[in-house]
Chain A
């Protein structure tokens, strides 16, 4: 893992003079890492540059950009984070023109940890590390192989563990609605645990992740109950791919299905239920 650290530092040092800061991960007290905006004025701070664990970088970038819309910023991105930024751009959450991406390629070990299908960046020439192929996702495969009643029992049990921290929504780079249905008492009962109907929270979120989830798995990682929710989003996005030929974060100029007005003949219907 450490062999990427020096080239990453060099890549950041090259970008720094052209931007107001480069967003990356910095090692802090106790070795615990967090996102940090490295500035051209303090290049020496790159001593504390870190690679892992990955952090919710796209969301942090948005936070900084909203306060400084005109600022040119660099950002160190893994494949999933780059996809996150691309999707945020398509939904008018970030200004793509002001971002310089340094693509950090994931290692085999990191990709396996994330069960990642695309552990590489595609939109940047500046890359650090060697791109590797996607790895299998045994968890999703296992759940998919279950019968309908087994799936129902599995998810009911998982959702029952939810402590309704809203962490999965808070940390998600694609959750940016001004008004969130998950805070609406009509749909999700407030002030009560366990929820009377925990599926409401999780299935509303799953539906809202359609053609949006970029498989960064930040939601799973922050979930105190260890609910493997990215499995749902992965399966939903497989359907989106088959029905609309849409892959999140893949192309900058392809509109997401939610933003399209469909006309007869615009897409080929598949055998999947509509």
Chain B
């Protein structure tokens, strides 16, 4: 059997700093992280989260589908079902308690375009200025 070992350069998914890291791939499986020495952001350093950035990828506790609580139990659902439910509930809350009863939390790891869309959604669709992101949490 041919042995395959390579590193895939990527950006740490955890915070807005965006340190460069290598995902170590052995025979097609993700096995670890190495810092990227020449990356202009991290310059070969990582924090404890970056060093463990591979750990969640295949973790057994990782959510692989949306979950909807039905009769007190979390039940696996499709994205269509989940988004429909969220949209309905947000609509009800907005009508009943007003748009400022809703807050949106975005992420420093989203792209600029995604963050733009989310603030647009908060301001233009929901009608609130309650928008913030994880880098301040």
Contact = CB atoms under 8 A, between A and B. Distances in A.
Nearest to A45: B6
Interface stretch (B41-49, B73-81, B112-120): B41-49
A48 to B, nearest CB: 11
Contacts, number: 93
Contact of A34 (B22, B46, B47): B22
Contacts of B57: none
A167 B35 contact: yes
Contact of A165 (B4, B7, B20, B51): B51
B56 interface: no
A204 interface: no
Interface stretch (A62-70, A77-85, A205-213, A238-246): A62-70
B34 A39 contact: no
Given A55-B37, A165-B46, A167-B35, A37 B51 contact: no
A41 interface: yes
B3 A21 contact: yes
Contacts of B44: 53, 221-222
Interface residues of A, number: 37
Chain B interface residue number, banded: 20 to 34
B34 A55 contact: yes
Interface string A24-45: 0010111111111101010000
Contact of B47 (A29, A63, A163): A163
Interface stretch (B25-33, B85-93, B102-110, B128-136): B25-33
B126 interface: no
A175 to B, nearest CB: 13
Interface of A is mostly: mixed
Contact of B3 (A30, A55, A64, A165): A64
A163 B20 CA distance: 18
A243 B22 CA distance: 41
A66 to B, nearest CB: 9
Given A55-B34, A63-B31, A23 B5 contact: yes
Interface in A180-225: 221-224
Given A64-B26, A166-B51, A171-B34, 15 more contacts: A33-B37, A33-B38, A34-B9, A34-B22, A53-B37, A56-B34, A63-B31, A64-B5, A73-B3, A165-B47, A166-B48, A222-B35, A222-B44, A222-B46, A223-B45
